[in-house]
Amino acid sequence: MGIYIKGAFGAFSGKVGNLVGSNWRSITYLRSLPKRSSKPATEKQLAHRAKFSLAVKFLSPLRDLINLGYNDKSRGTMTAFNKATDVLLTNIEGTYPDYSVPFDKVQFSTGGVGSISTSLETSGGAIEINWKNFGALGANGNDQGVLVFYREESEDFFVIQEATRQDEHYLIEEGTLPTGNYHFWSLLTNEKGQCSKTVYGGTLTV
């Protein structure tokens, strides 16, 4: 793939012969169409494809959140979703073909906003979430909390954005989440759209 800088006729987009031109983030790319291979995939290629498929399947439902969570410059020219996928790929556990998501290493976001450490208590179908507002570097009481729940049985995500850092408490009423086994994460965003790192809060049963 080449990066088109300038020329007499300017940049182009679309397909011309075996070349494809496209523009992304003010950078014009020129690449040739991939050649089809008749060779069977190696085990290493199959393993990478399996990892990639698992990472994309897991992260795809939260694409909008990830676009917010990886909106800083640290991702370079990668898209937010590609950066999150790349981070998860490096942590996928297991051996081919039995791979699994390491829930405690998942990062839906990154950034300099101060994160929080939560504790969970369940009573019936209600869930009480508590944390401390320590006024850490990069923290503001008005930072918006984002609570992410993943239900293993259905592979569904539930995202709640109603509490702020200074609230130090949030109650999820009985019936809000379907019964099941969950993994839980928290992150925060500020008024500038900046984020904290994602913090894994553990598992719970509703």
Domain boundaries, the chain: 2-32, 43-205
Question: What average pLDDT does this structure show over 173-194?
Answer: 95
CB 116 within 8 A of CB 165: yes
Residue 151, amino acid: R
Q: Helices 80-89 and 43-59 meet at what angle, rounded to 10?
A: 120
> What tens digit of pLDDT does each residue of 15-68 get?
555 565 555 555 555 566 566 667 888 999 999 999 999 999 999 999 999 999
> What tens digit of pLDDT does each residue of 129-166 get?
999 987 677 889 999 999 999 999 999 999 999 999 99
Architecture of domain 43-205: Sandwich (2.60)
CB 129 within 8 A of CB 119: yes
The predicted structure's pLDDT at residue 24 = 54
H/E segment holding residue 80? helix 80-89
- Alpha carbons 110 and 197: distance in angstroms, whole number: 4
